[in-house]
Structure 1
């Protein structure tokens, strides 16, 4: 309707593209629709650049899409270009910071998060992401403080509550974490990934059979395209002692750009059950080389 009134413009095309992308990013649609919606989002990028070839919003949207297309290098290039055009672009600050964090460049990630806090200090995802940056740096106590702030501001957001629950568990508050995970599962039934919440709750209780019951082939396929969801799957399966499945998902998060060697090899608490596996050791050697070779 807005396009009918004012015609196509950069902001409307960006908003439309973000709707398509977010439908995939948070799992609002079946997995078989992911490619179609990402293609629609890419068409919006084409429209944006036709209107403004130097659009920071266009680069930011394309970077987000590339993240979901398993192209972390392309995503980072786009986010960097977006920030060169607009140093205060909140989406680019958020996602470039995230990409630096998963690559094990904590200082760079923190610098972007600190700038983001000056630009937009009250949006809940920005607080949650600062917590994740702290987590990727091995500081789970600090991470918990940030994720607590995110759920205080936006207590109904299921993805932030999921992250906060994992921070609670990592800091020894497993009972509180499992209660929150159960509430997420109850409140976010429209999102495919939300079924990871009961899987993680069962895993934290050591209920292996229940974890495997929840982690169906369909659910595994639904989370396969997203690095964060694959991380949750790896954690749940590792805690349940399902080593092969956990290793498969750790390999997937590495393929999706996670080369933070200290985090994966040492500080991530829920992968302890698989660190003695030869397959894990071989993967970590590859991750270490990529981490050392990474150039920001």
Structure 2
């Protein structure tokens, strides 16, 4: 059997992402945990704990063996092994989202597993609420994406992600706060903006989605500037315990993305979200403002 050191019940993001990836690949190839474990000389209990992110020091050769068993390609195998190495770090910042395939995009993996998203955005509409035209305008503006095919693929992928909030069974809950500046920053032209804002107004009617506008008149919450952030919360088990601990995500833009896992950090951003929400327009007023500004874009008043 492989020698793997247990790090207790806590779980870091690289471990969780690696476990999630290995579990999905195992299930897609039809292996049970017991079958896969036996074929790579692991115990069932150990493989189960790897898949749930409960073991820190996973040997690289074990990850490589599992990837070979699941017929994973060379690039994704290398990325999975790298996650195993990163999982040993005490402090870890993820900067690989744009380099790996979608299977290794840390935020997308967390988003797909989340039960509830609490978001604050002051630059653009969040991806799960974007129209295809709005998404294309953002993606095509990136200097690294010059191929029409590449842009179309990324837009298509972003649109597919939106099934998380539109599916009939257990859609993800979204509590969205948008600063008013997002409504007026023209991305893709006035017609694209009008369509994007009308789309958000319609989406806000869904029982699992709340959209509130943070007006200019609200000033600075807590008297200091803060950027966009997303608080991700996950399902609970039969005992009422969170399957995964909550995480705060901040898009690093041109730098590293930041993920905060410490209880105090998560609580701070949860309290910040509550404070911002308290100075927002109400649901109905926010929906009306989205439609009003959409008309202004159509009339060329922006």
**Would you say same fold, with TM above 0.5?**
no
Name which structure has the greater RCO, CA cutoff 8 Å, separation 6+: 2
**Structure with max Cα Rg:** 2
The TM-score with structure 1 as length reference comes to 0.30
The TM-score with structure 2 as length reference comes to 0.29
Give the number of the structure whose residues are more often strand, by fraction: 2
